[in-house]
Structure 1
Amino acid sequence: MNSLPYGYHVRANGVRLHLMHYAGNGPRLLLLPGITSPAITWGFVGARLARHFDVHILDFRGRGLSYSEPGMVATLDAMAADVLGLLEAQEWSSVTLLGHSMGARVAIRAAARDAERIGELLLIDPPVSGPGRRPYPYPLSWYIDSIRLAIQGTTAEALRPFAPTWTEEQLRLRAEWLHTCNEDAITQAHLGFHDDDIHSDLPRLRTPGLLMAAGRGDVMRPEDLAEFRTLAPGLAQCVAAGTGHMIPWDDEKEFFRLLGDFLRVDLLDR
């Protein structure tokens, strides 16, 4: 099997969706990134997971090489419909969905609406903001300002104030791809963090899986984990104690250790 990743496009839910494929011999895993993370920026995770899974990483609409245009619709409902449409178009079943941040919220909404093709959920630090709840801790300006820098042409060093813990390689990749994030899409997603009631989906989840929270990101707090435990008892829980919201960037080894422990596979470099 070709070990090199490659990209491809699928027409689903009426739009063009781009994915990166990290081929593996195991069960299929669809990775859903966060609000300003094109698929390629998750390549280091896809390559590691491909030891045990056949990994596909989605460029959400308005990001990377997927459909994007001014004034586009890029709400939580639209993105969840894209995921379900993709599974149908590809005739995939029993897929593991791994979602980070916004991608985790999309995975929850998709599984709550139609779990028929979804075998397992791996939810990484989903924002728990929503109507009547505390706000998401990262302001919209943090995203928009960095995107506008990237559109003008920026360097890894210029982006360091936005992500001071990241490596030079991680920042270079972000500087290369951040310009592909559509400002309208990012704005809608950020507003959705506060307007969409993701908690109403949790009691409807019938898909088992894992909820991983960052210990220092302030996106999920102990009381949020307790609420998830009540509303979605089918999700096991773990905490990456020393990491911020971008768990695999902050502590790659701990991320793979916790994920591997749950999946009962070895994801660590020895």
Structure 2
Amino acid sequence: MTHRTLSQAALADLADIPARSRWTHRDGIRLHALDYGGDGVPLVILPGITSPAVSMDFVARALTDLVRPVVLDVRGRGLSDDGEGYTLENYAADVEAVAEQLNLDRPLLLGHSMGARIAAAAAVRGKIALRGVVLVDPPLSGPGRGPYPTTLEAFLTQLHEAQRGTDAGEVARAWPRWPRREQELRARWLSSCGETAVKATHEGFESEDFFDWWPRIDAATPTTLLYGADSPVVTAEGATEAERALPSARLIQVPDAGHMLFWDNPDIALALLREALTTPHPLQECPSMGKLVHDRLHG
């Protein structure tokens, strides 16, 4: 059963975030996003399995001088509605609806973990024109590839702690490296994630093969994959397979970071993300996302 709650303290966090709530819908599901505004190239940010939009605030803020971040509350999380069918196809269709209804012209996509898989699916579906995609430590799991390294039980334990009422100190036991603010936000917002959504998505990590999508991203779409040097999700072997499967993609390793690389090593991870957005992509013949952002910034 889905049990989702948000405290007044959690909602008050939105007052300290320099973004406007934007609402769209698809098939009767209301989708919420945080829009940081500006006239930069739109960058749709897609968070992970138990990460509401607010959890990516520090990432979005670090990019507002380069792009216009729009962070989605993926269905079943944050302020977005629950929905039927937590599949990559449905998630990608939600992203398409958000881009179309908010008039985001040829956006970039940036996805972390679950969000990276969604970004890959949206790129392959081709329903909206994209300037490029950045995938951050996507689960490479799928049928016959072994289990996702974090068990469903581990996710549900943390979710039930949040539903019962937790604090940053308890969050720190699972995520000791995170900045204190991010531990506090997780303590207040994790209970906004629906158990049904988490269960279905975790099952999808093992039933939906990332490599059914990744090799089909058009070589003309500037594509970057960032991954943690110590990640159990994108291992060295997985990175090698990803590189072989899509030679047009650029792979960037983030040192001293696991799967949650922006939280584990924020300064370096954000610097490398900015570099990925502003450095011309060496393997694409078409204009890169970096050139597009550079041209927008410098006229």
- In the superposition, the TM-score normalised over structure 2's length comes to 0.83
Secondary structure (helix, strand or coil) at the match of 2:62 reads helix
Match of 2:201 in 1: 189
Contact 2:96 2:128 in 1 (8 A): no
Secondary structure (helix, strand or coil) at the match of 1:189 reads helix
Q: In structure 1, which of residues 104, 111, 116 is the aligned counterpart of residue 116 of structure 2?
A: 104
Match of 1:24 in 2: 38
Deviation at 1:262, TM superposition (A): 2.0
Contact 1:93 1:119 in 2 (8 A): no
* Alignment CA distance shift 1:228-1:203 (3 Å): same
Match of 1:120 in 2: 132
Aligned length: 262
Match of 2:267 in 1: 253
User: Cα RMSD over matched residues?
Assistant: 1.7
Deviation at 1:110, TM superposition (A): 1.2
Match of 1:52 in 2: 66
Matches within 5 A, 1:84-99: 84-99=96-111
Deviation at 1:13, TM superposition (A): 4.4
One-letter amino acid of the structure 1 residue matched with residue 59 of structure 2: V
Matches within 5 A, 1:202-241: 202-206=214-218, 207-241=221-255
Matches within 5 A, 1:74-89: 74-89=86-101
Match of 1:35 in 2: 49
* Alignment CA distance shift 1:260-1:68 (3 Å): same
Say if 2:25 is the partner of 1:11: yes
Q: Deviation digits for residues 124-183 of structure 1, max 9, x if unmatched?
A: 000001001022111111111111111111111122222121122111110110000000
Stretch deviating more after TM superposition (85-94 or 113-122): 85-94
Q: Deviation digits for residues 54-102 of structure 1, max 9, x if unmatched?
A: 1100000000000127xx4322221111112222333333210000000
Secondary structure (helix, strand or coil) at the match of 1:175 reads helix
Structure 1 CA distance, aligned partners of 2:167 and 2:102? 37
Match of 2:283 in 1: none
Structure 2 CA distance, aligned partners of 1:168 and 1:88? 36
* Alignment CA distance shift 1:6-1:89 (3 Å): closer
- Structure 1 spans left out of the alignment, 5+ residues: none
Structure 1 CA distance, aligned partners of 2:80 and 2:88? 16
Secondary structure (helix, strand or coil) at the match of 1:126 reads coil
Secondary structure (helix, strand or coil) at the match of 1:49 reads coil
Q: In structure 2, which of residues 55, 69, 76 is the aligned counterpart of residue 62 of structure 1?
A: 76
Deviation at 1:209, TM superposition (A): 1.7
One-letter amino acid of the structure 2 residue matched with residue 157 of structure 1: G
Contact 1:25 1:52 in 2 (8 A): no
One-letter amino acid of the structure 1 residue matched with residue 135 of structure 2: L
Deviation at 1:36, TM superposition (A): 0.4
One-letter amino acid of the structure 1 residue matched with residue 222 of structure 2: P
Deviation at 1:14, TM superposition (A): 3.5
Match of 1:179 in 2: 191
Contact 1:13 1:85 in 2 (8 A): no
* Alignment CA distance shift 1:116-1:155 (3 Å): closer
Q: Deviation digits for residues 14-56 of structure 1, max 9, x if unmatched?
A: 4110000112331010000000000011101111111110110
Structure 1 CA distance, aligned partners of 2:57 and 2:217? 28
Stretch deviating more after TM superposition (54-63 or 148-157): 148-157
- In the superposition, the TM-score normalised over structure 1's length comes to 0.92
- Structure 2 spans left out of the alignment, 5+ residues: 1-16, 280-289, 291-299
One-letter amino acid of the structure 2 residue matched with residue 132 of structure 1: G
One-letter amino acid of the structure 1 residue matched with residue 61 of structure 2: A
Contact 2:88 2:118 in 1 (8 A): yes
Deviation at 1:12, TM superposition (A): 2.7
Structure 1 CA distance, aligned partners of 2:28 and 2:249? 32
